[in-house]
Structure 1
Amino acid sequence: MDLAAIRTQITKLDCANQHGEALKAAGKAVNTAQNSHGEQDPVFAAALVLLGDVYHMMNNLDKAKDVYAWALSLNTHPNRGQVLNKLTAVYLDLGDPQQVEKHVTDAMGVSLDEAEQIWLWDNQGRFALMQGRREDAGTYLQQALTQRQQTLDAKHPDLALSLRHLAQWHQYCGTYQEAEPLYMQAFRLRISAYAKKHPLVAQSLADLGQMYHILAQYDESESLYEQARATVADGQGRDTLRYASILDSLAALYQDLSRYPEAEPLYREAMAIREVHLGNKHPDFAASLDRLAHLQHSQGDDNNAKGTQQWALDIKRQALGNKHLDVADSLDNLGRIWQGLAE
């Protein structure tokens, strides 16, 4: 079995936004490797990583995590650092700092080739940003971008990833004049590399929409969010978590513009999508409740806001524990709502 050829095929299918076909190809590779080589053979572990890659492309983070973890547990993959980096990236997307720290530490303890060292810097930068270590984050992310610029073709889509992460760092630091051109470069690279309805194209449109939202360029922001919304709707569907995320961004824009009747149905639609995918006890479902409570509070509807925010708080306490920062945020929000009721 030629895994290199299968990887090339999957990459082409990804660029064409044909993720269903990519999943079939990766699943077939895993089955063939399992039947022909057995689960203790390095070929099987490498095929599992291909399957994990497709799940990650599809934003199915839980399945990507499980498949990468399976490949790692076999201890037979020829490039352990690669699997650690991929699993770390999934945990970063899931927002799990404990697992990120564990896998970053493990990756630092193995021999890495040049490509995997770049991925480690990228992961370290994102982790530092998650922890609020701005200087460290900027150093790692700039290293990753510089090295990719030196080693990859100027149109390689991995450059867009580094450009986006460095733009996010500048946005976090408030240096918006530096962030905007980086987001734009990432968008242009993705437009040239991927199909028009690809989720990464939508992601870049949403990034730019958020940037213009921050800069109070509201017409441009709304247009970009709507383009991102249409891209995901046509490319992946209206019942996906990606679509829910863009609905939230557009609703937040409408809320800031006091267009409350337009914001509320978007928040509720996003919340319904998360309930289907994640259930009503998941922290991300609670985050949807937070947004709805904030909107209700903004409209002076504190009686309903109180119940919505309390629901979010109860979910977070159960899922995250009383000492989690997200629980503290919900308590703070609830306090403001009670203050509004008392006035």
Structure 2
Amino acid sequence: MASRPPPLSLQGVSAAGLRKFFQELMDEFVDRDTDKLRALTTADTCNTVVLPRTKEKQCAFLELMDPEHIGTATVFVSHAWRYKIADVLATMVEFAEEEKRHGRPEPYFWFDLFMNNQNIAADLPQDWWSTTFKESIAAIGKVLLVLTPWSNPIPLTRAWCLWEIFCGISQEGVELAIRLPQHQHNALGQALLDDADAITNMLVEVQAGKAEAWKPEDKEMIFQAINSTVGFTQLNKAVKDQMRAWCLRVAQTFVTDMERKGATDTDSYALMCSRVGSVMTSFGASEAAIPLHETDLRVTLARHGPKHAGVGVAYNNLGTAHSGSGNLDKAAECFKKALAFDLAVHGHNHESTGITLNNLGNTLMQKGNYDEAIRYYAQSASMLASLSDSRARKHLAQALNNISQAYSKKGEYAQAIDFSHRVLQIRRATLGEQHPDVAASYVSLGTFYDAKADYDQALVYLHKALDIFSTILGASHPHTGSAFTQLGNTLVSKGQLLEAIKMYAAALQIHRKTRGEDDLSTAMCYNNIGTTLVKMGDPTRALEYFTNAVHIKERVLGTEHPETASSYFNLGSLCFQQGSVARAREHFNRALRIQQRALGEDHPSTAMTLDNLALVAAQRGDLAAAIAHTRRALHTYTRCMGSAHPYTQRAQRNLAEFAAMAQRAQGFGSQSSATVTATQNLLLRFLCAVAK
């Protein structure tokens, strides 16, 4: 009978022991080769120091260390053996000093170079890693992940480290602390001042399935442990969530470090606030970005006055942050201030003015003011068309594309198609056929032809887009997933629901793999599958997908965001179809409150919710409320989309039928069976017609 593998040693070494060991390294190498000491990796240290010293006793290095530096391990160190040993040791010591500053007990580090017997190669079974190893980390209670270099952190590419990280974050009561060596932390801060995308670029795509190990058998063992417990999808999501949270924290420290040093009236401080605010916005933390951009604006105005270029940038950044947080009125206000600045300082024929016009148009489009948005987009396009450089051509194509999207929102698909072809012409001329932006134009054209009910032409363009995305970006890229999504939409329009489900499932698989579970693209996939299942007569399964979508939006955007409101709307529609009128009314009212506050009363999304609340009211016999809701919806549809739009015409028909029902009910003194039947027919005809 095979003996049970030994438990992981739970001893650790103190910061004093680490300092002593590093001093011994310096004593050994400094006289002979200082450069070699600086280049020494953990693996080198094992081969040149640890193994020679422990060979005679065939023991772990820990057994040769001074007992006064040994104690019960409280921190498990996750690192890569390719790291410079000086970086690893320095990070542990810096962490110990940080703990001391916060009044916490002295940490003892479980560091595999010291704790494991490097003279023997343990051949441990897979279940040891998925049970004993995890239990040992839980007993230690904290994992310190050492990241370096900042621009491409090695641990996120190493199977060992990913497994160690997961063993920490997947267990209740285990804390994960992520640290850069101090010189790397400083380098990242400087890089962020130089490039706004420094931190977002450093967050590499975590793909546990592509991680490597020094030994093929180690990789096989770790992959078996992953597959038998959580699976790669869950591991990727867990690690990405931790990295995202860490990126936000480390970005904020660059601001607080400057504040602690009293450098709050400098250009560098204003720039750092701007950069960190942009990081917050790009990571979905728009609320946290707003005060940072406000600080940037205040300092820039105080130091340079209202005509400094940074003032326009700050207003644009503020507008973007407010838009991301769902406050579109405030976003529009900021973009209008940015526009006034650009016109006063740069004039009409300047790229910055064109970009601001486009930003303002985007916000007005989100608010449902499509005609006003088109005017700003057109001004942007006209100005950018007068500029000849490649950046201006790129922004011109985007402005024209936005015009096409606005016309599509108005239901004027011929105009949308015309502008979309102009965008395609520019992009093909400047970028060539095999380019993602060209594929994006094909997606737009496919969408518009779908809306015109020319499904075959739509599929031609969408398949072109899918071919380009798959070839250029790969079969698992998010843009490829989006092309699958639009193909699914068109197949739904054609009535090929089973084929559509396959397209949506392919998109869901891609987005979960590349972006994780908590991403809006993943939420959209769940929503699309749910909507299609409703059409297929499977509301029970649809409810599961709609619930997944709303939970993602609540986690990512919060419970008061317009996108979250759209999921409440879908849940209301589904409950309505299932006959749960009270629950439907609850979901619709929740969506309506958010939309009225964030989007305003006269927004198409608000009108759609009122449309369905009218159906709920009619089902409950409250025809007065049904008529009032429909009138409000009709007013918004007419203003935003025009009298010829299908939503406007449907609202007109609904209003006429509700009025007729009310008249018949008045004649009978109560709601007659004929009125009930008419109401139910309306519900069947219009229910979920406006599902988003």
TM range (shorter): 0.7 to 0.9
Cα deviation, 1:215-243, whole Å, max 9, x if unaligned, reads: 64867865554444334322332134443
Q: 1:74 aligns with which of 275, 279, 299?
A: 299
Structure 1 counterpart of 2:611: 332
Cα deviation, 1:273-325, whole Å, max 9, x if unaligned, reads: 3344566566654432221121233x3x23x133232343156448846x834
Structure 2 counterpart of 1:309: 585
Please list every run of 5 or more consecutive structure 1 residues that lacks an aligned counterpart in the other structure. Answer: none
Structure whose residues are more often helix by fraction: 1
Paired amino acid for 2:526: L
Deviates more, 1:288-297 or 1:92-101: 92-101
In structure 1, the residue corresponding to 2:370 is in which secondary structure? coil
In structure 2, the residue corresponding to 1:39 is in which secondary structure? coil
Shift of 1:86: 2.2
Shift of 1:336: 0.8
Cα deviation, 1:175-210, whole Å, max 9, x if unaligned, reads: 4645596773368798899898776x3785477458
Q: 1:293 aligns with which of 541, 563, 572?
A: 572
Structure 2 counterpart of 1:43: 268
Shift of 1:63: 2.6
Shift of 1:164: 5.8
Q: Is the 8 A contact 2:469 2:480 kept in 1?
A: no
Q: Is the 8 A contact 2:322 2:330 kept in 1?
A: yes
| Pair 1:294–1:147, CA change in 2 (3 A) | farther
Distance in structure 1 (CA, Å) of the matches to 2:402 and 2:383: 10
Distance in structure 1 (CA, Å) of the matches to 2:557 and 2:593: 17
Deviates more, 1:309-318 or 1:333-342: 309-318
| Pair 1:279–1:61, CA change in 2 (3 A) | closer
Q: 2:402 aligns with which of 140, 165, 174?
A: 165
Shift of 1:125: 2.2
Q: 2:331 aligns with which of 79, 100, 113?
A: 100
Shift of 1:81: 0.8
Q: Give matches, 1:195-210, under 5 Å.
A: 201=479, 204-205=482-483, 208=486
Q: Is the 8 A contact 1:213 1:253 kept in 2?
A: no
| Pair 1:56–1:229, CA change in 2 (3 A) | farther
- Check if 1:132 corresponds to 2:370: yes
Deviates more, 1:270-279 or 1:99-108: 270-279
Distance in structure 2 (CA, Å) of the matches to 1:261 and 1:143: 51
Distance in structure 2 (CA, Å) of the matches to 1:5 and 1:98: 32
Q: What is the TM-score normalised by the length of structure 1?
A: 0.73
Paired amino acid for 1:117: T
Structure 1 counterpart of 2:358: 122
Q: Is the 8 A contact 1:184 1:208 kept in 2?
A: no
Shift of 1:44: 1.2
Paired amino acid for 2:490: Y
Structure 1 counterpart of 2:152: none
CA RMSD of aligned residues (A): 4.5
Identity %: 16
Paired amino acid for 1:122: N
Q: Give matches, 1:178-217, under 5 Å.
A: 179=420, 184-185=439-440, 201=479, 204-205=482-483, 208=486, 212=490, 216=494
Distance in structure 1 (CA, Å) of the matches to 2:387 and 2:510: 28
- Check if 1:62 corresponds to 2:62: no
Distance in structure 2 (CA, Å) of the matches to 1:29 and 1:305: 52
Structure 1 counterpart of 2:104: none
| Pair 1:319–1:42, CA change in 2 (3 A) | same
Distance in structure 2 (CA, Å) of the matches to 1:228 and 1:203: 4
| Pair 1:196–1:161, CA change in 2 (3 A) | farther
Q: What is the TM-score normalised by the length of structure 2?
A: 0.40
Structure 1 counterpart of 2:546: 267
Distance in structure 2 (CA, Å) of the matches to 1:8 and 1:276: 24
| Pair 1:192–1:139, CA change in 2 (3 A) | farther
Deviates more, 1:172-181 or 1:210-219: 210-219
Distance in structure 1 (CA, Å) of the matches to 2:260 and 2:477: 33
Deviates more, 1:201-210 or 1:35-44: 201-210
Please list every run of 5 or more consecutive structure 2 residues that lacks an aligned counterpart in the other structure. Answer: 1-189, 207-239, 302-307, 425-436, 444-464, 621-675, 678-692
Q: Is the 8 A contact 1:23 1:54 kept in 2?
A: yes
Q: Which has the larger radius of gyration?
A: 2
Q: 1:152 aligns with which of 380, 391, 404?
A: 391
| Pair 1:151–1:318, CA change in 2 (3 A) | closer
